[in-house]
Chain A
Amino acid sequence: MPKIGSYRANSVIYFQGDQGDKVFVLQTGRVSLNYNDIETGKDIREVIQTGEFFGVKSALGRYPREENAVVLQDAGVLMFTVPEFEQFAASNIRIIIKMLKVFSNQLRRIHKQVENLMENTSAVSAEVGLFKTGEYYLRNRMYSQSRYVFSRYLTYYPAGRVAEQAARFMEASETALARYGDGKGPAPLAGASSGAHGPSSAAGAEAPKTAASGGQTLSDAAKDYYNAVSLLTQEKYQEALKEFKRIADASQDPEYSAKAEFDLGRCLFALSQWDATIQHYTAIIQQTPRHPDMSDILYIMGQCWEKKGDKARAQGFYKKVLSMPGDDDSSARIRAKKALNALGGA
């Protein structure tokens, strides 16, 4: 049971620097918490309202008191030990939630103050930091980790400075993961990244096109496209589907229309619409037999047939992937090989 305490005006309940394990609630009278603002050094007087708690943080955290608790008018208080306070709070959860809100505001404020003092040190922007984190994992052949980080980059910065590169590195991570597994394979990034003004522009081993420098600006079609890719990585397939369809129909830029056509199928597949996927890709195969993502298209077709239970057709598509000319170990090829083996016979 909490104890009742009464204090005369002008007395002090606790001093700054005291070690104390009591939490107080003001019942009657007036109490002021006096301290110096850590930023300005100004004297602050915070008058406690009746019913209000004080001394909570220092008691819970076992820190020295951070203020002088001075009695302005004869005061009656309830004094809780920490276990008593916890027991009381457990059955008055609203009070904890209120305190959490107060504390989170305080935390926000002090965090800002610290950041203001830190601003002249070399902090990287979150965007660059995220990209570099991805690069670190890719360089150290932690492919599933780098894939995650680059997909998050695309989620948050679909039109970011290095969105295109992030998309390529994500692809490179995926390919390396399928081909070698985490921790294996040749070093996927040449050298260390040390660009003073941003992420390195080292080309991933799988970069399908020549790597452009990091800072290039994206066309509107490209921005829209990476926006949609971002939705796809967030597993918002319905929304991504809509966007890809819009980009494909607008056909502003043949490169991104083709990409969007391909990713549209990936959305359908992710939505388990096997027939719609097959229909969509069949049209592409007929109209654009030289589509740059043909191996992947054929592979996903195989997956659809496998899902539908038609092993023979699935095998047919996987074999087609393997007979495609070009990159001998694209991720589609490796996956097709695995799928064929799983179906029992190459």
Chain B
Amino acid sequence: MSDLAGFSRFARTYQPGELIFSEYEPGDSFYLIQAGRVRITKIVGDIEKNIDILQPPEIFGEMAILEGAPRSATAIALDTVKVLEFNRANFEILMMGNPQIALRLLRLFTKRIYDQKRRFMILTLDDPQARIADVFLMLHETQGPINQGAAELDGDKREFKVTVDDVAHWAGMNMADVQTILGHFSNQRRIELYQDKIVVKNINDFTRFVNSKRKK
């Protein structure tokens, strides 16, 4: 990692349990972890859900680059956390001396743009069943073929650690409709519903289904 000794004026320390920022707070800075782990959470219904656990030298809060956008999740220090805090005004200073960080940010933006485009593709499907099937295709693409063994079931079977809530969020639909459609898929034996996961029996079947519904 590059030498960051000159950036002490951007350094912040958080104690375990301390909030770095809260979901919905307008964001104007982003963070580079130097020490300790950061938990990213979201309150869904009445449960605080873990989205991710980040560690050095990861970057978070980078969506602050979107002017005035509220934070989409909460960042909490899991250990004693040391970060460098930057905003739109001063991040160039950091980048100039630290190409590795600049490249990491570039890659992060690449991923964010791709993710958002993929989300957009889901939302443009008119058929609600196809939308939900496409959510699983998206998860399949991002989770990759060899993700923690989750996908290495037999043949075309894929397992996703998601809840109905998550699917509703990605599909931009309300919970009740998503519940109905998932129930329908389950009756057709295309998926299996569990408390903490959803198993798609044949991912290729979903691919064909979504392709047939996507307007050319």
Contact = CB atoms under 8 A, between A and B. Distances in A.
Nearest to B175: A122
B172 A86 contact: no
Interface of A: 38-39, 41, 56-57, 60-61, 63, 66, 86, 89-91, 93, 96-97, 99-100, 103-104, 106-108, 110-111, 113-114, 117-118, 121-122, 126-127, 129-130, 132-134, 136, 140, 142, 144-145, 148-149, 152, 156, 182, 192
A148 to B, nearest CB: 5
A104 B124 contact: no
Contact of A129 (B24, B76, B103): B24
A133 B65 CA distance: 23
A104 B65 contact: yes
Contacts of A93: 95-96, 99, 102
Given A38-B124, A145-B19, A130 B109 contact: no
Nearest to B171: A121
A145 B173 CA distance: 31
B99 A57 contact: no
Contact of B113 (A106, A118, A136): A106
A3 to B, nearest CB: 21
A91 to B, nearest CB: 7
Interface in B164-180: 172-174
6 contacts: A96-B99, A107-B116, A114-B119, A114-B120, A121-B172, A136-B43
B66 A111 contact: yes
Contact of B123 (A60, A86, A117, A126): A117
A246 B66 CA distance: 36
Nearest to A148: B19
Interface residues of B, number: 45
A132 B48 CA distance: 12
A39 B58 CA distance: 32
A103 B106 contact: yes
Nearest to A117: B123
Interface in B98-156: 99-100, 102-103, 105-107, 109-114, 116-117, 119-121, 123-124
Contacts of B173: 121
A263 B17 CA distance: 28
A103 B66 CA distance: 11
B100 A104 contact: no
Interface of B: 17-19, 22-26, 43, 46, 48, 65-67, 69-70, 74, 76, 92, 95-96, 99-100, 102-103, 105-107, 109-114, 116-117, 119-121, 123-124, 172-174, 215
Contacts of B172: 117-118, 121
Nearest to B111: A61
A100 B120 contact: no
A169 B120 CA distance: 39
A97 B109 CA distance: 12
Contacts, number: 131
A111 B116 contact: yes
Given A122-B174, A133-B43, A60 B25 contact: no
Contact of B116 (A100, A110, A140, A142): A110
B120 A156 contact: no
Given A93-B95, A113-B120, A57 B113 contact: yes
A149 B22 contact: yes
A104 B91 CA distance: 13
A148 B70 CA distance: 16
B123 A97 contact: no
Given A100-B105, A117-B123, A110 B113 contact: yes
Contacts of B70: 126, 129-130
A338 to B, nearest CB: 19
A55 to B, nearest CB: 12
Given A89-B102, A107-B113, A145-B17, 10 more contacts: A57-B110, A61-B110, A90-B99, A90-B103, A99-B106, A104-B66, A108-B66, A127-B24, A145-B19, A152-B25
Contacts of A152: 22, 25
Contacts of A118: 123, 172
B43 A100 contact: no
Contacts of B17: 142, 144-145, 182
Contact of A96 (B65, B76, B102): B102
Query: Which 7 residue pairs across A and B have the least CB separation, nearest first?
Result: A129-B24, A90-B99, A126-B70, A130-B24, A103-B109, A117-B123, A61-B110
Contacts of B105: 100
Given A133-B22, A148-B19, A149-B19, A100 B123 contact: no
B83 to A, nearest CB: 16
A107 B74 CA distance: 21
Contacts of A117: 120, 123-124, 172
Nearest to A118: B172
Given A107-B65, A130-B24, A100 B95 contact: yes
Nearest to A135: B43
